[in-house]
Chain A
Amino acid sequence: MKNQSKLKASTVFVHLMLLVLVVVNLFPLYWMITFSLKDNDEIFGGYLKDNAGAIIYSESGEKIPVARNMIGLPRTWRWSNYTRAMNTGNMGRYFLNSLIVSVFAILLTLLAAFMATYALTRLAWKGRKLMNKFFMLGLTIPIHAALVPVFLILSRMKLLDTYIALIIPYAAFSLSMGILISIGFMGDIPYDLDEAAFLDGCGVWGIFFRVIFPLMMPATATVGIYTFLQCWNELLFATVFVSKGRFMTLPVGVKQLVGQHTTDWGPVGAALAIATIPTMIVYALLSRRIQEGFIAGAVKG
């Protein structure tokens, strides 16, 4: 009996520690959302202003100080920060660019990875293992290796500031992990199916596109999610290869919002929230799948 209550006390302690960590994890996000609806005066302290931004004076002609309100809910909910982030901050444009780049990079990665995996696991040739090892080198190669040469190639081919400038490098750097994940999934597809399709008159291409490809849907999700997260958040390539507003992706756009001088933090917070919320929604819907993708990649690597 005594032992049991002791056990309970330790469980309560563990929960308490975990809850503290939950608060530590969630607080910065709560704080981002709330400051995205405030102005600098409320965040850092300042003087009371009217809606046009002019300072309001008291009857005795003095400025009225605004108390800082860092961690509380906004006193007035300034949704205009969000319209400013969308209009002057161009967040809609960056969002669309990120989406286009990510989707095409995912499609390219999937096609190249599935085809290569098929050749590596189901076609018969010497050097399969060696070729597999060759592709796995990509897991350790830092993107810095490609930065200068690819920049020079793109610049000489006049391809800087295009979607292609990001789509192809992103797909190339997601490829190794794509193949790694695909090999696991393709290994689970029974070889009898290949045989049956062959007897029905399919060649390797028929087997690949009619039998293997449709059965690779679970791998599509895992590889797709992995590639998406790689592309959606990438900064170094995006900064170097795409410097013009028309093709800039979200990370570069967000980075540009914090100006050289004083920063108007309200709209910046709104931009951060706009860039974060979609990922959070996807995570809420697919959390298990996303986690599995990360685990699959690391455990096999």
Chain B
Amino acid sequence: MKKTIAYKLNILAFLLPALILFVGILIAPIVMSVIYSFHDFKSVSASADMTYVGFGNYIELFSRMLVNDKGALFTNVNYMGDALVNALILGALSVFIQLPLALLIALKLSKGIRGERAYLSIFFMPVLISTVIIGQLWMNIYEPDGLLNSALGALGVKDQLFSWISSHIHSTKMPFRGAWTGYKETALIAAFIPILWQYVGYHMLLMYAGIKGVPADLLEAAQLDGCTEGQVNRHIVIPYIKPILKVCVIFAVTGSLKSFDLIYTLMKDTRRAELPSTLMYKLTFLNNRYGLGSAIAVVLIILCFAFALLISLAFRDKGEKVA
């Protein structure tokens, strides 16, 4: 038996399909992306016309001098710096609004409330709907004479709200008339609402599962000691599910950095809430700047790993203090 399970050729054969897929589609392309990001090329046909430009793509990316494949300066894109700021704002909104809300619901649900399973299943459901569909649905809700503005009108707050928003819009002189995705100042919030709606159930499910894993005797002991529900949550439940909270924070932040589907489908013109991914798509596939697009990919890879690491470190320190 020992001989058979240590036979090298068998081991290789079992690993081969996974290795081919993994190295061919994930690892090799990372290396290629890094190489491409130091080159300028505008045609997919052959690699012969690639010219080495050093850090030129990265400098161009952060310098507000982006050009298309004809060499013309863009007037209709935002720049990488803005896109990263937007992504980080989305990430912060997720961490500080979505996650606390999810935790609150999870804490309430896991206390054995009647209809627990039904609530759980309903709250989780939007996670399974395609983000494209959610984008289209909200595009319709945000139509200038669509559901949201009609509801605001019915509540009698529409005119007041619109003029208040108009007074805070500085990116254009156009007064706000209800085009939520048409202004820099409102587009990002308009994009966050569907994200919140879709993913709050996801984080809630993970936290709920974590809370259910808290040993019952720990909770009973605390109750016998006369702890209130709030105290139990603060001193036992939340420290116990810290590993899950860490995963949620990592997902929320890296998910925002990578986010593409919602903005791309929610808005006919993504530049009011440009994200790294939408910028990458535009530059690479609509304007054939493959090197520039690869540079964005490399920045995203580095940021995703860096944030995952940073968040893990932040959680580990506090975890050790508690233990």
Contact = CB atoms under 8 A, between A and B. Distances in A.
A233 B8 CA distance: 39
B30 interface: yes
A134 B26 CA distance: 11
Interface residues of A, number: 98
Interface stretch (A59-67, A73-81, A252-260): A252-260
B108 interface: yes
B228 to A, nearest CB: 12
A13 to B, nearest CB: 10
Given A145-B29, A155-B44, A44 B261 contact: no
Interface stretch (A49-57, A85-93, A108-116, A215-223): A108-116
Contact of B247 (A155, A290, A298): A298
Contact of A25 (B28, B123, B139): B123
Contacts of B145: 44-45
Contacts of A298: 206, 244, 247, 251
B297 A22 contact: no
Q: How would you classify the secondary structure of chain B's contact residues: helix, strand, loop or mixed?
A: helix
B22 interface: yes
A157 to B, nearest CB: 11
Nearest to B37: A148
Contact of A22 (B114, B119, B127, B261): B119
B2 to A, nearest CB: 7
A149 B33 contact: yes
A172 B22 contact: yes
B4 A198 contact: yes
Nearest to A235: B261
A179 to B, nearest CB: 7
A71 interface: yes
B161 interface: no
Contacts of B33: 145, 148-149
Nearest to B108: A14
B192 to A, nearest CB: 15
Contacts of B2: 124
Interface string A1-21: 000000000010011011001
B129 A175 contact: no
A122 interface: yes
B121 interface: yes
Contacts of B119: 18, 21-22
Interface in A207-254: 208, 229, 232-233, 235-236, 239-240, 250-251, 254
B147 interface: yes
Contacts of B120: 291
Contacts of B38: none
Nearest to B118: A22
A194 to B, nearest CB: 8
Given A168-B25, A255-B132, A299 B210 contact: yes
A272 interface: yes
A133 interface: no
B62 interface: no
The 4 closest A-B pairs by CB, nearest first: A172-B25, A116-B18, A119-B14, A149-B29
Interface of B: 1-2, 4-8, 10-11, 14-19, 21-22, 24-30, 32-33, 36, 44-45, 105, 108-109, 113-115, 119-141, 143, 145-147, 150, 197, 201-202, 205-206, 209-210, 243-244, 247, 251, 254, 257-258, 260-261, 264-265, 268, 276-277, 280-281, 284-285, 290, 293-294, 296-297, 300-301, 304-305, 308
Given A22-B123, A148-B297, 18 more contacts: A26-B122, A44-B146, A116-B18, A125-B8, A141-B304, A145-B33, A148-B32, A172-B21, A173-B26, A251-B130, A251-B132, A254-B133, A255-B264, A260-B268, A272-B137, A275-B133, A287-B121, A299-B244
Interface of A: 11, 14-15, 17-18, 21-22, 24-26, 28, 31-32, 35, 43-45, 68, 70-71, 108, 111-113, 115-116, 118-119, 122-125, 131, 134-135, 137-138, 140-152, 155-156, 168-169, 171-173, 175-176, 179, 194-195, 198, 203-205, 208, 229, 232-233, 235-236, 239-240, 250-251, 254-255, 257-258, 260, 265, 268-269, 272, 275-276, 279-280, 283, 287, 290-291, 294-295, 298-299, 301
10 contacts: A24-B197, A44-B145, A44-B146, A115-B16, A115-B18, A125-B6, A140-B305, A144-B300, A145-B301, A294-B127
